[in-house]
Amino acid sequence: MKSWASEAIGYLSGCILLLLAALWMRLNPVDMYSNDAPNYHPVRQAAWIILMVGFNTGLAEILVYSVSASKKVFRRLKLTGVLSISMITTLLSTVLLVDGDFFNYLQGWGAFWTSYYLLITLLTILTCYRLHQRGVVDVFKDADHTS
Listed by start position, the domains of the chain span 4-29+41-134
- Please write the tens of the pLDDT for every residue from 84-116: 888 999 899 989 888 888 899 899 888 998 999
CB distance 64 to 117 below 8 Å: no
Is the pTM above the cut of 0.95?
no
- State the DSSP code for 78: -
| DSSP letters for 100-131 | S-HHHHHTTTHHHHHHHHHHHHHHHHHHHHHH
CA distance 126 to 85: 13
The pLDDT of residue 136 is 65
